[in-house]
């Protein structure tokens, strides 16, 4: 009998298979879902999220909401919660007006905003910690997405802090001062928030794999100013080991604001709102306060963009002027720098004479001679910009950075100064341009600024690992490191000493 191509053996196997009872196949065991990262912190348990290269915890409160009776008071302890608090979504920015560049933060903002973000490579270990204090003239901005920085891939625990801004964070007022425990304390609530955040870091960061004894604070612009004030204030002593200051110093070269003079700003608010006393201020709507904030004025300033950058000596956070507080402050390693070009004159050309008077005081005529203000505008400098741009960068950033470097080095602090000069497409640099080089992938030639900052955060010394050495400034021996398209170039001497000496700060 002719068989099909299956053959005898094939039929036999088929018949055997048909006679065997069916055996049920066991379903594969379910793979358990990964357990979300959880940490017990001040207030309760928070749940973050694990990503490929980091563990993130977003919007964790470090103080009670500054609402109602807590408005314009020092930050109060965190309110405890029950259960598990999600820390996986971006928290609102602090309340702020819309200045255009900050529109996203303005739209997503709240008076309840005292939170911080943490990114860590792992919840175990003992890693260096970097705390970021954002800029924005102390009147705008947020922690943003800073914890997304690739700094975390370098083995660093990164913390980004939010603090009260503008009228909510820096209003000096007679009635608020009168009720404060420390006589005269009023006007630096945003700085109090930053101190509270640093205390939270001290108490909790070990649970995120960070070393509370190896904390570096850093910031840019107003954030850098605030970092330098953290170095000065007695209230922040013992809360961090070192600081990196990017384009900002105490007061930005402006004269200190005594509290009696600062109260005039609060007086204006009372006239605008028709309020009298602290209770009436706390009943005022946030919208009315923000609207009034746009009308407040410091008679000495040429532009009210600097209203909350002129340092108020409040008697509490700053019991004395920063230069005097540095006399008794503990010596800590510091990086200080500015960009070759930052921005234009506050108030523009019409305000130039007033700005020169304010910035150079008794030496204003000498500054006018240096800049040849009695002559027609010269051609713009290829790296420093127009004459007006040079005046602004010198007086607000470059000279005050030199002053702070000289002051601290003269007292024996380990200090390293830099100047940054990399612009888009070979053009001028600008205010804040260095941030992407420190926290991102951009490079200065073959040099990555991030290498210096990571080394500094790890050891307290930015040099090493075959990079161009960063010369330290010592008493009577100024030095700095230039970052530009060619890489990193060590230099000796002060930067622009002729004009900076006229500011009366060197």
pLDDT tens per residue, range 178-222: 987 655 578 999 999 999 999 999 999 999 999 999 999 999 999
Residues 6+ apart with CB under 8 A from 171: 72, 186, 187, 189, 265, 266, 269
pLDDT tens per residue, range 372-405: 999 999 999 999 999 999 999 999 999 999 999 9
Classify each residue of 444-462 as buried b or exposed e, where b means 16 or more C-beta atoms within 10 Å of its C-beta.
beebbbbbbbbbbbbebeb
Task: Report the pLDDT value the prediction gives residue 25, as an integer from 0 to 100.
Answer: 59
pLDDT tens per residue, range 286-305: 999 999 999 999 999 999 99
Distances in whole angstroms, Cα of residue 8 to Cα of each of 5, 16, 167, 212:
9, 12, 94, 79
Task: Report the pLDDT value the prediction gives residue 15, as an integer from 0 to 100.
Answer: 37
pLDDT above 90 coverage of the chain, percent: 90
Q: Is the confidence at residue 14, as pLDDT, over 60? A: no
> What is the pTM (predicted TM-score) of this model?
0.92
Residues 6+ apart with CB under 8 A from 44: 80, 81, 82, 83, 84, 85
Confidence of residue 13 (pLDDT cuts 50, 70, 90): very low
251 DSSP 8-state letter: G
Residue-range domains of the chain with CATH = 38-502 (3.40.50.1820)
- Gap between the Cα atoms of 297 and 308, Å rounded: 10
Task: Report the pLDDT value the prediction gives residue 185, as an integer from 0 to 100.
Answer: 76
- Gap between the Cα atoms of 228 and 254, Å rounded: 15
Indicate the burial class of 103 (C-beta count within 10 angstroms; 0-12, 13-18, 19 or more): exposed
Q: Would strands 115-120 and 55-61 be described as parallel, antiparallel, or unpaired?
A: antiparallel
Q: Which two tokens stand for residue 103?
A: 């529109």
The count of other CB atoms within 10 Å of the CB of residue 211 is 16
Work out the angle at residue 505's Cα, subtended by the Cα atoms of residues 500 and 506, and round it to the nearest 5 degrees.
Answer: 65
Q: Which two tokens stand for residue 209?
A: 């794999």
pLDDT tens per residue, range 94-110: 999 999 999 999 999 99
Confidence of residue 464 (pLDDT cuts 50, 70, 90): confident
Q: Is the confidence at residue 8, as pLDDT, over 50? A: no
Confidence of residue 9 (pLDDT cuts 50, 70, 90): very low
pLDDT tens per residue, range 76-87: 999 999 999 999
């Amino acid at each position: 009998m002719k068989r099909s191509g299956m053959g005898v053996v094939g039929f036999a196997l088929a018949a055997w298979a048909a006679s065997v009872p069916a055996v049920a196949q066991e379903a594969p065991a379910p793979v358990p879902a990964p357990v979300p990262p959880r940490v017990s912190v001040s207030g309760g348990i928070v749940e973050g999220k694990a990503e490929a290269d980091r563990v993130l915890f977003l919007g964790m409160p470090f103080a009670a909401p500054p609402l109602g009776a807590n408005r314009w008071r020092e930050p109060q302890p965190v309110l405890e919660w029950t259960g598990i608090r999600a820390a996986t979504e971006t928290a609102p920015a602090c309340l702020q007006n819309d200045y255009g560049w900050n529109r996203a933060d303005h739209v997503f903002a709240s008076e309840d905003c005292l939170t911080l973000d943490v990114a860590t490579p792992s919840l175990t270990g003992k890693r260096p910690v970097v705390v970021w204090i954002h800029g924005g003239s102390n009147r705008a901005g947020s922690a943003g997405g800073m914890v997304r920085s690739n700094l975390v891939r370098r083995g660093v625990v990164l913390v980004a802090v939010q603090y009260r801004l503008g009228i909510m964070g820096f209003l000096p007022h007679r009635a608020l001062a009168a009720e404060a425990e420390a006589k005269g304390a009023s006007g630096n609530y945003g700085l109090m928030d930053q101190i509270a955040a640093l205390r939270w870091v001290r108490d909790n960061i070990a649970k995120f794999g960070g070393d509370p004894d190896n904390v570096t604070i850093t910031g840019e612009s107003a954030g850098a100013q605030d970092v330098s004030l953290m170095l000065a204030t007695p209230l922040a002593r013992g809360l961090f080991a070192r600081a990196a200051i990017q384009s900002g110093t105490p007061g930005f070269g402006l004269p200190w604001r005594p509290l009696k003079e600062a109260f005039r700003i609060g007086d204006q608010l009372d006239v605008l709102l028709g309020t009298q006393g602290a209770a009436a201020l706390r009943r005022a709507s946030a919208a009315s306060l923000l609207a009034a904030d746009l009308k407040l004025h410091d008679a000495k300033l040429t532009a009210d963009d600097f209203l909350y950058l002129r340092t108020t000596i409040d008697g509490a956070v700053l019991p004395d002027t920063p230069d005097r507080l540095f006399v008794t402050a503990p010596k800590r390693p510091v990086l200080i720098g500015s960009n070759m070009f930052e921005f234009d004159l506050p108030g523009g050309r019409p305000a130039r004479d007033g700005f020169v008077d304010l910035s150079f005081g008794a030496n204003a005529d000498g500054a006018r001679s240096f800049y040849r203000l009695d002559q027609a505008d010269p051609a713009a400098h290829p790296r420093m910009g127009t004459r007006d741009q040079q005046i602004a960068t010198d007086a607000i950033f470059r000279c005050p950075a030199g002053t702070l470097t000289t002051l601290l080095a003269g007292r024996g602090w380990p200090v390293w100064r830099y100047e940054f000069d990399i612009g888009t497409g070979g053009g001028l640099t600008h205010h804040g341009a260095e941030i992407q080089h420190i926290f991102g992938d951009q490079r200065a030639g073959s040099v990555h600024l991030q290498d210096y900052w990571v080394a500094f955060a790890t050891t307290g010394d930015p040099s090493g690992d075959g990079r161009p050495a960063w010369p330290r400034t010592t008493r009577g021996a100024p030095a700095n490191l230039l970052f530009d398209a060619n890489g990193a170039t060590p230099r000796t001497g002060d930067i622009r000493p002729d004009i900076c000496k006229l500011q009366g700060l060197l």
